[in-house]
Amino acid sequence: MSTPALRMSTLFLRTLREDPADAELPSHRLLVRAGYIRRVAPGIYTWLPLGLKVLRNVERIVREEMDAMGAQELSFPALLPKEPFEATGRWTEYGENIFRLKDRKGADYLLGPTHEEMFTLTVKDLYGSYKDLPLSIYQIQTKYRDEARPRAGLLRGREFIMKDSYSFDVDDAGLQASYDAHRAAYIKIFDRLGFEYVIVAAHSGAMGGSASEEFLAVAEYGEDTFVRSTQGDYAANVEAVVVPQAPAVDFSNVPASHAVDTPDTPTIETLVAVLNARHPRSDGREWTAGDTLKNVLVMLVHPGGEREALAIGVPGDRDVDAKRLEAAVHPAEVKAFDEAEFAKNPELVKGYIGPGVLGAKNASGIRYLLDGRIADGSAWVTGADKSGFHVIDLVNGRDFTADGTIQAAAVRDGDPSPDGKGTLVSARGIEMGHIFQLGKKFAEALELKVLDRNGKLVTVTMGSYGVGVSRAVAAVAEGCHDEVGLVWPREIAPADVHLVATGKDEKVFAKAAWLTDALAAQGISVIYDDRVKVSPGVKFKDAELIGVPTIVIVGKGLEAGTIEIKDRATGDRREVPIDQIVDAVVSEVRGAVG
């Protein structure tokens, strides 16, 4: 089959020499400059012809692997009625993150941010027996989320394309099998997309549910941080790291707690200095930040809008990690505990807040949760709830009790791996895919039940699996570029060959046109730079910016009977005799030896 070539003289494309003002990341800059996408509004982009080709290639890979694992494609509308989302509580839970609208009769609608409700209800509509299951269905479709921080072009859009699939099973064993099949398909998809990725344990966020993993593209500017252990297989998004509770320690030798004066010590640093100067330890070692218990206050805003203050106790040498905290309190949102809040709670003495007033049963009534490193029986220096004073030898479980624990303290390089093997090393990544065992949450809320073998109604158990299709275009670009432009992996490149005709000689253009047609006849897709009045320098720059894997140059060599093939990624060039050029390019593209 022949593939019509794209001719640069008529291709709907303008490459830009200047970086767009709003682009911080290379992928964003290059996709705009090379004419793949155009911004319409924050987080909303137009796909230009070259961009659309790359997007379609990503979709094709995803579709082929989903079909191969036996999932069936369907397509839901993006415009959805409110009712199913009310039934699952997500009309409220999503808060400001969904685009809401009304029809002419005043009925509420939304633009789907994700489609669990639709999948669940449609299966409920059509199926009723265990014999109908297992089932995996998917769509590749546009989603809408009013993201607080749309970012980096396609990476975090407000309109974006996602592949989402769901599995439906009668029991846990079935769910596990469906999950494993998806995991295997995802490995194939991400191997083909051609970027470096890691599979990490994930926090399942809004969905509840249990087993959950993310596929992260390893990227310096990724928004997600993950950790891997130096030994063993442990890998997790920092949001999902579960630090084990420190074992209880013996406090029989710890003296009674007592307040000491620590003037002007609103920070841990000043506190440690003053402690060492005024109240040296009896065991001869110096006080360190790790001996102090730092209490951090935040405001939670629950989905219904109710506000709740929360206090978190962490060792003073560690911060509360915003992402871990967000994950831990989800679906509540985290806001600052500001001056106005302090004004409403006079028992909270800024800089000197301690467990004396924190906790549901104490003066503030503020829920107080501890980091797992604060062992039962361990002794701490912490705020005395009085300006200029701290308490020494305050023992957890003896002198104060918190309301529970929370996984919110920062995870650091060198921390012990939670599985006991080695220590943690962190890196950054972009979330490309998420698979998890959703379980019965949606099936219960929407009453998706089937008759089992014994004629008894059972609630169906579900798995949920997403791939960021438009995000993948940016993630590949982020991983595959150099100073001068994009360097697409072959499977998703907008064309196989970028053919450049140089000079003004008609013979050159005639040869180039012949080669374009000869390649097209072999099913090779070609971008042919047939522009007559454009200099070779500009053409080469454009070819490198656009990033097609094989560049073919028809020009100077013709006199000697050769055409040049250049590899975009390695820069390797070779002259090929004209009578061998078609075969040479075809084997280059198809990866055959020759």
Closest CA to 349 of 361, 336, 359, 358: 358
Q: Does 114 bind ligand ATP (CB under 6 A)?
A: yes
Q: Does 356 bind ligand ATP (CB under 6 A)?
A: no
User: Cα torsion for 140, 145, 149, 150, to the nearest 10°?
Assistant: 40
Based on CB atoms, which residue is closest to ligand ATP, 153 or 383?
153
Please, what is the minimum distance in Å from the beta carbon of residue 528 to ligand ATP? 33
Q: Does 152 bind ligand ATP (CB under 6 A)?
A: no
Would you give the DSSP letter of residue 129? B
Q: Contact region for ligand ATP (CB under 6 A) — 104-112, 155-163, 345-353, 381-389?
A: 155-163
Single out the residue of 66, 80, 162, 185 in contact with ligand ATP (rule: CB under 6 A).
Answer: 162
Burial of 112 (C-beta count, 10 Å sphere; 0-12/13-18/19+): buried
Please, what is the minimum distance in Å from the beta carbon of residue 171 to ligand ATP? 25
d(CA 494, CA 342): 57
Based on CB atoms, which residue is closest to ligand ATP, 182 or 434?
434
Based on CB atoms, which residue is closest to ligand ATP, 162 or 381?
162
**Binding track over 458-497 against ligand ATP, x by CB under 6 A:** --------x-x-xx--------------------------
Based on CB atoms, which residue is closest to ligand ATP, 432 or 501?
432
Size of residue set near ligand ATP by CB under 6 A: 16
Q: Does 156 bind ligand ATP (CB under 6 A)?
A: yes
Please, what is the minimum distance in Å from the beta carbon of residue 33 to ligand ATP? 21
Near ligand ATP in 176-215, by CB under 6 A: 205
Based on CB atoms, which residue is closest to ligand ATP, 471 or 511?
471
> Strand 379-383 vs strand 333-336: parallel, antiparallel, or unpaired?
unpaired
Based on CB atoms, which residue is closest to ligand ATP, 368 or 436?
436
Single out the residue of 51, 209, 313, 433 in contact with ligand ATP (rule: CB under 6 A).
Answer: 433
d(CA 118, CA 138): 11
State yes or no: cis peptide before 331, omega within 30 of 0.
Answer: yes
Based on CB atoms, which residue is closest to ligand ATP, 158 or 539?
158
The SS3 assignment for 122 reads helix
Cα-Cα-Cα-Cα dihedral sign, residues 125, 130, 131, 133: positive
Based on CB atoms, which residue is closest to ligand ATP, 145 or 390?
145
Q: Does 157 bind ligand ATP (CB under 6 A)?
A: yes
Please, what is the minimum distance in Å from the beta carbon of residue 467 to ligand ATP? 6
Q: Contact region for ligand ATP (CB under 6 A) — 186-194, 417-425, 426-434, 575-583?
A: 426-434
The tokens 């055409």 sit on which residue? 563
* Cβ contact 223:430 at 8 Å: yes
Please, what is the minimum distance in Å from the beta carbon of residue 162 to ligand ATP? 4
* Tokens at 543, concatenated: 């070819």
Residues with Cβ within 8 Å of residue 457, at least 6 apart in sequence: 449, 450, 451
Element (H, E) at 459: strand 457-459
Q: Does 153 bind ligand ATP (CB under 6 A)?
A: no
Based on CB atoms, which residue is closest to ligand ATP, 434 or 568?
434
Single out the residue of 99, 160, 234, 380 in contact with ligand ATP (rule: CB under 6 A).
Answer: 160
Single out the residue of 183, 324, 434, 539 in contact with ligand ATP (rule: CB under 6 A).
Answer: 434
Q: Does 146 bind ligand ATP (CB under 6 A)?
A: no
Please, what is the minimum distance in Å from the beta carbon of residue 178 to ligand ATP? 17
Based on CB atoms, which residue is closest to ligand ATP, 142 or 522?
142
Single out the residue of 169, 213, 415, 431 in contact with ligand ATP (rule: CB under 6 A).
Answer: 431
Q: Does 371 bind ligand ATP (CB under 6 A)?
A: no
Q: Does 145 bind ligand ATP (CB under 6 A)?
A: yes
Please, what is the minimum distance in Å from the beta carbon of residue 132 to ligand ATP? 26
Angle (CA) 82-87-88 rounded to 5° is 105
Single out the residue of 432, 497, 520, 581 in contact with ligand ATP (rule: CB under 6 A).
Answer: 432
Q: Contact region for ligand ATP (CB under 6 A) — 69-77, 133-141, 154-162, 171-179?
A: 154-162
User: Cα torsion for 58, 64, 69, 70, to the nearest 10°?
Assistant: 120
Please, what is the minimum distance in Å from the beta carbon of residue 203 to ligand ATP? 9
Cα-Cα-Cα-Cα dihedral sign, residues 201, 204, 209, 212: negative
Nearest residue (beta carbon) to ligand ATP: 468
d(CA 472, CA 476): 6
d(CA 466, CA 139): 10
Closest CA to 555 of 590, 589, 504: 504
Q: Contact region for ligand ATP (CB under 6 A) — 81-89, 166-174, 187-195, 432-440?
A: 432-440
Please, what is the minimum distance in Å from the beta carbon of residue 225 to ligand ATP? 12
Burial of 289 (C-beta count, 10 Å sphere; 0-12/13-18/19+): middle
Please, what is the minimum distance in Å from the beta carbon of residue 166 to ligand ATP? 12
Single out the residue of 147, 376, 444, 575 in contact with ligand ATP (rule: CB under 6 A).
Answer: 147
Based on CB atoms, which residue is closest to ligand ATP, 207 or 493?
207
Near ligand ATP in 205-264, by CB under 6 A: 205
Residues with Cβ within 8 Å of residue 22, at least 6 apart in sequence: 39
Please, what is the minimum distance in Å from the beta carbon of residue 39 to ligand ATP? 14
Based on CB atoms, which residue is closest to ligand ATP, 213 or 415?
213
Based on CB atoms, which residue is closest to ligand ATP, 265 or 470?
470
Cα-Cα-Cα-Cα dihedral sign, residues 73, 79, 85, 87: negative
CB atoms within 10 A of CB 338: 10
Q: How far is residue 284 from each of residues 137, 243, 254, 276, measured CA to CA in Å?
A: 66, 30, 15, 10
d(CA 458, CA 444): 10
* Tokens at 482, concatenated: 């150099």
E strands in 82-211: 99-102, 108-111, 135-144, 159-169, 197-201
* Cβ contact 3:524 at 8 Å: yes
* Tokens at 85, concatenated: 């989302």
Give contact residues for ligand ATP (rule: CB under 6 A). Answer: 114, 145, 147, 156-157, 160, 162, 205, 431-434, 466, 468, 470-471
